[in-house]
Chain A
Amino acid sequence: MTAARLSLGRIALNGAAMLSLGFILLPLIFVTWLAFFRQEIPSFPPEGYSLRWFSAAAGNKAFVDGFLLSLQVGVLSTLIGLMLGVPASLALVRHRIVLGPALNTFLLLPLVMPGIVLGTATYVFQIETEIATGLPVLGSAGGLVAAHTLIVIPWVVKLVTASLVGFDRTIEEAAQNLGANPWTTFWRITLPSIRPGLVAAGLFSFVTSFGNLEMSLFLVGPGRITLPIAILQYLEWKIDPAVAAASVIQIVLIGAAMIVTDRYVKLSRVV
């Protein structure tokens, strides 16, 4: 009786898991399929298959420029996010700072803030900064990186504090006992010990920045748009599988990055 009910439960659980996996994968599968259609209008069934939309996407200047800008912004905001987020996490975990828990929540806030709200807020802020300082902030690459750093910090803080909480500090003392000053101890002992957390933080930060649309919409300037915006603008004029091809390239790149990363640190263990 119990065994039968158990296995029934198992089947139901597996079924539910398959269903949600399918729900997640279905759009990806359709986009990938679509990218290989020959005809211009995405209609079913396909009239034939070709790779022409991939070359079209690769030859589209807006896509290529957008890809390069997204790459730059992603890398820069990830690096800056790590440089700010790691010390912040250290302070939060290791020192009793005033309003520590409140500060922690505050740093995670951009994660739950709707993109439109965040975009409006940074837009207004950057305009005010421009007025106050006279520097060209809005629409500049620097302004974009600054804003992306904001949405990247929650990931860094979340993942790095998690790694630091379980970290045995006596190995830092051991290093100092062996003659390492605090700076050397940090680079040689602390950072390598939380490497899985750092790698995961870097990856999630980059993906978050690379895929961001809503906030970026408020902040880009003419002739300087990110890949998601380039795709959106393209879609306003025509719908052909070139967009699907561009998406497939993105999916493959991000997937490859995750697989490579997973070889060095088990992401499933960190996140």
Chain B
Amino acid sequence: MARLSIEHLRKTYGEFHAVDDFSIDIADGEFLVLLGPSGCGKTTTLRMVAGFIQPTAGRITIGERDVTNLPPWKRNCGLVFQSYALFPHMSVADNVAFGLEMRRMAPAERAPRVAEALRLVQLSGFDQRYPRQLSGGQQQRVALARALAMQPDVLLLDEPLSNLDAKLRQEVRVEIRDLQRKLGLTTIMVTHDQEEALTMADRLVVMEKGKVRQIGTQRELYEKPADRFVAGFIGRSAFLDGEIAAPGRFRSQGGLEIDCSAPALGPATLALRPERLAIGAQAESCTNRFQARVEHVSYLGALLDIDVRLTEHDRMLLQLPNRQGTVEPKPGDRITIGWAEDAGLVYPRES
């Protein structure tokens, strides 16, 4: 277990930047999640840490060791592959013992370590089975046990749950998290699943097109998204395009004048969390208050999603909790919506 430090890591394929200037310090025992849409460079980053991809530039330090130019077999990173990558010709016990064997540990010493690793993933008694005799969930656990048995300095997980069915995924999520805490393992997990990322991480890195968009805790990412991409990717946001004509005053394309706390000038986008909008009487106290026409209502059980139109150019999304006595608006209804000045986040316009 150790700190992990990544400095200005970069990987280019010809002109294409797969990972662009990635820097982070991960504390001992921290669970970091790399989150981003498919193809944003998460796996590439993870594989550079594991040593399977040579970085174009940058430095990776594990503990006090600069591992940037070390081959994979000298890094002591436990990587759990998306496909599990179990050795099909070896029993579960031999799979788990492989890392220890590579360190020339005596068989007598290996046995208790293998048993302990299998116990941790609740697979005691499966040691003589072969991978093909296991379910997907069990294979996943063997892959985890195999990585844990070698007591890696860092644990790397590449979409470890993506091949499991939904129910199992929920369970394994909690199990991995508990195990990681108990063992105090410095961990990087890669996922494109937002919910998974939010439930498991101590801290998250949001990536897009090879670039780090924001690093922070769940709360930081949700409350203070660094840019428009993060505002749309973490949770949901409704966006209004327009410009900041004067400090603190946003003018939408449809001509709405909106109070906000923004110094910047020029073309801008205003982002609003749908659940932070008030409706009807509750909107009375808001600084920003507008008439809107209901266009569409989605009944989602615990929530109601309401699409409204403010002007010809401006649309907005509201989310109402489905409390007892909530009056469900109908398409065509005219309603008043409002939000506090600091509920709107303003970003420079992105093309």
Contacts and interface: CB of A to CB of B under 8 A. Distances in A.
A128 interface: no
Contact of A195 (B71, B79, B89, B99): B89
B102 interface: yes
Contacts of A181: 71, 73
A173 B79 CA distance: 9
Contact of A177 (B78, B83, B88): B78
B87 A173 contact: no
Interface in B80-95: 81, 83, 85-89
A174 B73 contact: no
A175 B81 contact: no
Contact of B73 (A170, A180, A189): A180
A174 B102 contact: no
Contacts of B85: 168, 170-171, 173-174
Contacts of A188: 98
Nearest to A193: B89
B77 interface: yes
A174 B71 contact: no
Interface in A172-217: 173-181, 184, 188-189, 192-193, 195
A195 B83 CA distance: 22
Contacts of B81: 170, 173-174
Contacts of A178: 73, 98-99, 102, 146, 150
A65 B102 CA distance: 47
B72 interface: yes
A181 B75 CA distance: 12
A193 B98 CA distance: 15
A180 B83 CA distance: 19
A49 B51 CA distance: 72
Contacts of A193: 88-89
Nearest to B97: A178
For the residues of A in contact with B, the DSSP-based class is: helix
Contact of A176 (B72, B78, B86, B88): B72
A192 B85 CA distance: 15
Contacts of B77: 177
B124 to A, nearest CB: 21
Interface residues of A, number: 18
Nearest to B83: A170
A180 B101 CA distance: 9
Nearest to B52: A173
B50 interface: yes
A189 B94 CA distance: 12
Contacts of B50: 177
Contacts of B88: 171, 193
Nearest to B98: A178
B219 interface: no
A175 B87 contact: yes
Contacts of B52: 173, 176
A174 B79 contact: yes
Q: Which of B71, B77, B79 has the most CB of A within 10 A?
A: B79
B103 interface: yes
Interface in B49-78: 50-52, 71-74, 76-78
B72 A171 contact: no
Nearest to A184: B102
A181 B103 CA distance: 11
A253 to B, nearest CB: 29
B102 A180 contact: yes
A184 to B, nearest CB: 7
Nearest to B87: A171
Contacts of A180: 73, 98, 102
A180 B146 CA distance: 14
B103 A179 contact: yes
A193 B89 CA distance: 7
Given A168-B83, A170-B85, A176 B71 contact: yes
B86 A179 contact: no
A180 B79 CA distance: 14
Nearest to A195: B89
A175 B76 CA distance: 12
B102 A177 contact: no
Nearest to B47: A173
Contacts of B99: 178-179
A164 to B, nearest CB: 15
B292 to A, nearest CB: 52
B103 to A, nearest CB: 6
Contact of A179 (B73, B83, B87): B73
A192 B89 CA distance: 7
Interface of B: 50-52, 71-74, 76-79, 81, 83, 85-89, 98-99, 102-103, 146-147, 150
Interface of A: 168, 170-171, 173-181, 184, 188-189, 192-193, 195
Given A171-B86, A178-B73, 7 more contacts: A170-B83, A174-B146, A177-B79, A178-B98, A178-B150, A179-B99, A179-B103
- Please give me the 9 A-B residue pairs with the lowest Cβ-Cβ distance, nearest first: A179-B102, A178-B99, A174-B85, A170-B85, A176-B72, A177-B79, A192-B89, A171-B85, A176-B73
